[in-house]
Amino acid sequence: MAETFFSKSRVLIYVVLFICLFVHIFVKHINTMNKKLIALASIIIVVISVGMIFTDTIGNSTPSKSKIETVKKENLEKLDMEKLTKEAFLKKVFNYEQNKEWKYEGELPCLIDFYADWCGPCKMVHPVLVELSKEYEGKIVIYQIDTEAEQELAAAFGIRSIPSLLFCPTEGQPQMAQGALPKASLKKAIEEILLSEKTADVN
C-alpha cells in the first residue's frame, strides 16, 4: 500500500511542477483575469489528482470478496484432514493384501471419511470433521478417502452410499456408520468406539 502511494505521489509532484512551469512561462503574457483562471484550474487539477491517488490506493488496499474467499479456502486447506491413497491406507490402517483378518496398523485410533467431491451431505459433514480433528488432536486421527479416486478401497469396504464413516479402534473390530451424522453423534461414537475399551454401535 505504502509503495503504491509513494509511486503515485511522484506522479502528482511531476504534474504540479509542470503546471508551475507552464504558469511561470506564460504568466507575463496574460492579463489578470486569465491569471486567476489559470491559478483556479491548477488548483482543481491538483485536487482531482490527489483525490484519484487516495481513492485508488484505498481501493487497492481493501481486499475484494474473491480475495477473502481465496484466503478462507487456503486456511481451510491448511486445517484439512489427510487424504489416504491405497498405499497410505495399507501402511497406516489395514494391509488387506497381506492379512485376511483385521489388523489395525496405526498407533492412534482413527476415523475414516469416505466421500466424493460431488456429494452434498459429504460437504456438510466435512467442517464438523475438521473441528473434531482439532478437538481430538493427539487422541485420534481423522482421514479421508475419495471414493472416486480410490475405488478399490471403497469396494473393499462395500461403500455404496456416502458419506460413510469407518471407526477404527486400536483394539477390536472397526465399525461403519452412514450418513451426515451431527457433531454430537460423532463425538459419542468417538468416545464409545475409539476412546473406550468396549465398543458400541453407532446411533
Active site members: 119, 122
For residues 165 and 175, the answer to whether their CB atoms sit within 8 Å is no
Please say whether the beta carbons of 76 and 130 come within 8 A.
yes
What are the DSSP E strand ranges found in the chain?
82-83, 110-115, 141-146, 164-168, 175-178
Query: How many angstroms separate the CA atoms of 124 and 134, rounded?
Result: 17
Strand partners, 83: 144
Among 83, 72, 156, CA closest to 116: 83
Answer whether the bond into residue 121 is a cis peptide, omega within 30°: no
| Separation of alpha carbons 147 and 139, rounded Å | 26
User: Which residues, in sequence order, are bridge partners of residue 137?
Assistant: 140
